[in-house]
A and B are shown apart, each in its own frame.
Chain A
Amino acid sequence: MSVGHIARLLEAAGIPTVIVAVQSFRKRLEMMTVPRALLTPHLMGRPIGRPGDREQQQSVIQAVLELLETADQGGTIIDFKD
């Protein structure tokens, strides 16, 4: 919820945001109509990936940046595909 609120405040001030979170946060983020969010199928507390799994973490960062660039409306919440 905290990050959803920060996202809304930043966007209102003109700064685009993108969130990367675990899928368990889907409901909360949808309810908050956050601007852009990528949902990852990871254990809570590890949204970017497993510790030490550099390749997986890079894929997630790549996907979240692509979402930042391509989303054209608020509430764009998509699932990360490996």
Chain B
Amino acid sequence: MKRQTTAKETFESFKNSFFYGSRVNMNFKFLEHLSESEADLFFQGLLKRLSEAYDRNDDGRVSGYIIEWQLKAYSHQKGFAYEEGPFAPLSKPLSELRLGLLTSSGHFVKGQDPEPLGVKNMTQDEALARVMDFLKEEPQLSSIPIDTPPEQLCVRHGGYDISGSKLDCNVSLPIQRLNEFVRKGLIAELASPAHSFVGACSQKRLLKKTGPRWVKILQEQKIDAALLVPV
């Protein structure tokens, strides 16, 4: 019999491997934030719901359960805290509004790759592997004309599961939905281009340098308000 030389994997390293480890999976990276006993409960509940979903032909039971645990895992998250925030009132009714759109989904138009970290044709896997490098960098803004056909859009982001955005840009960059609202007269205009960037970036640089520059870009678009979509 061959002697086992590698150490047995612990449950802790198993659950943490979904967070940028050997089992990297952006939908389940939240497992790293759970204790071992919480993660144990999560897996037991997930398996139970998988068979229930089959029996009842209801996949909402599974997705609802995963969403519930994502919420729980991120409920104690620390970050930037501000006591008060600026508030600009809306100056006109929606039907007269020229709206801007900015998302942190990491979309760009085919042929206009922002080439983050100086890398040409970076793959999604490389973006995941280099997320720590992204967090030190200044983000880049991609311009997306609002009539861009969905098949001309690309998405790459090392901080979230892009599979929904790849299937349908509107889940995180709702240009088609907003164009429909314009056609119905519910808002007057959607400013073109819309904008997208990779939200996993240096917050310090974003606040001091990049953000103020982007504010000028949006001001030049003469928008009355902006819809912002984080992912």
Contact = CB atoms under 8 A, between A and B. Distances in A.
A72 B90 CA distance: 9
Interface in B173-190: 174, 177-178, 180-181, 186-187
Interface in B204-222: 206-207, 211-212, 214-215, 218-219
Contact of A68 (B77, B212, B225): B225
B230 A2 contact: yes
A57 to B, nearest CB: 5
7 contacts: A6-B215, A15-B226, A31-B79, A45-B171, A47-B229, A61-B174, A62-B186
B177 A5 contact: no
Contacts of A16: 88-91, 224-226
Indicate the size class of the contact surface on chain A.
35 or more
Contacts of B90: 16, 68-69
Contacts, number: 211
Interface residues of B, number: 73
A49 B173 CA distance: 11
Interface in A30-82: 31-35, 41-52, 54, 57-58, 61-62, 64-65, 68-69, 72-75
Contact of B104 (A3, A24, A26, A28): A3
B207 to A, nearest CB: 5
Nearest to B167: A51
Interface of B: 26-27, 30, 63, 66-67, 70-71, 73-77, 79-91, 93-94, 100, 102-104, 139, 160-165, 167-168, 170-172, 174, 177-178, 180-181, 186-187, 197, 199-201, 203, 206-207, 211-212, 214-215, 218-219, 223-231
A65 B229 contact: no
Contacts of A18: 225-228
Contacts of B77: 27-28
Nearest to A29: B230
Given A2-B199, A8-B82, A48-B177, A15 B223 contact: yes
A41 B167 CA distance: 19
Contact of A24 (B74, B80, B161, B207): B74
